[in-house]
Amino acid sequence: MSTIPNVLDDLLQRTRLALPGVQVLDGQPVTDTEPDVVAIGFTGSPGEAAVDATEDRAQLTTSPDRERYGITCLASSWRGDTDARAVRDRVFELLAALRGELQRDPTLGGLVLSARMAVVAFAQEQTTAGPVATAQFEIRIDAFAR
């Protein structure tokens, strides 16, 4: 069985603990979001796959299978003023807190061989409602299917 469902649950829990007071979503937002938000398992495009996985046989055995996958997530900050630097800095604070949590326990309590933040794409824009900064990031997982 794939580790993907359990890893998503674990990442949600860890993100909530690492970022108290920040809205942490399981996938796509379905309601209005708070000024600071992290969405685990969402690319920013509804319906787009947020997990890309491959499975291989480990060495010469028939099981367990080795799985490697990336989980795409978003971190975003918005303020109703004109200070773009504040939202930009806040997004990178959110990323740093989550990266620190993954570095503290890269095996997610023994659930995987390794979990690490590997890719970050950043965008910022000025809107009529104020500046918004968003980072799409990927958490790369290496694990044995159970």
Residue 64: pLDDT over 90: no
User: What per-residue string of b and e applies to 81-117 under the rule 16 or more CB within 10 Å gives b?
Assistant: eeebeebbebbbebbebbbebbeeeeebeebbbebeb
**Minimal CA–CA distance to 78: which of 23, 145, 143?**
23
Residue 59: pLDDT over 70: no
For residue 145, what pLDDT band results from cuts at 50, 70 and 90? confident
Q: Which residues pair with 39 in a beta bridge?
A: 25, 74
Residue 13: pLDDT over 80: yes
What pLDDT sits at residue 94?
97
For residue 112, what pLDDT band results from cuts at 50, 70 and 90? very high
For residue 63, what pLDDT band results from cuts at 50, 70 and 90? low
**Rounded to an integer, what distance in angstroms lies between the CA atom of residue 92 and that of residue 60?**
42
**Minimal CA–CA distance to 118: which of 144, 141, 92, 88?**
141
Helix axis angle, 4-18 relative to 84-104, nearest 10°? 120
What pLDDT sits at residue 136?
97
For residue 5, what pLDDT band results from cuts at 50, 70 and 90? very high
> Domain extents for the chain?
4-144
**Rounded to an integer, what distance in angstroms lies between the CA atom of residue 15 and that of residue 24?**
7
**Rounded to an integer, what distance in angstroms lies between the CA atom of residue 41 and that of residue 25?**
9
Span 17-28, mean pLDDT? 96
**Minimal CA–CA distance to 64: which of 115, 1, 8?**
1
Q: What angle do CA 86, 92, 95 make, to 5 degrees?
A: 145
**Rounded to an integer, what distance in angstroms lies between the CA atom of residue 131 and that of residue 87?**
7
Q: Which CATH number fits domain 4-144: 3.40.50.150, 3.30.2000.10, 3.40.50.300, 1.10.3720.10?
A: 3.30.2000.10
pLDDT in tens, 71-83: 999 999 998 888 8
Residue 7: pLDDT over 80: yes
Span 112-124, mean pLDDT? 95
**Rounded to an integer, what distance in angstroms lies between the CA atom of residue 37 and that of residue 35?**
7
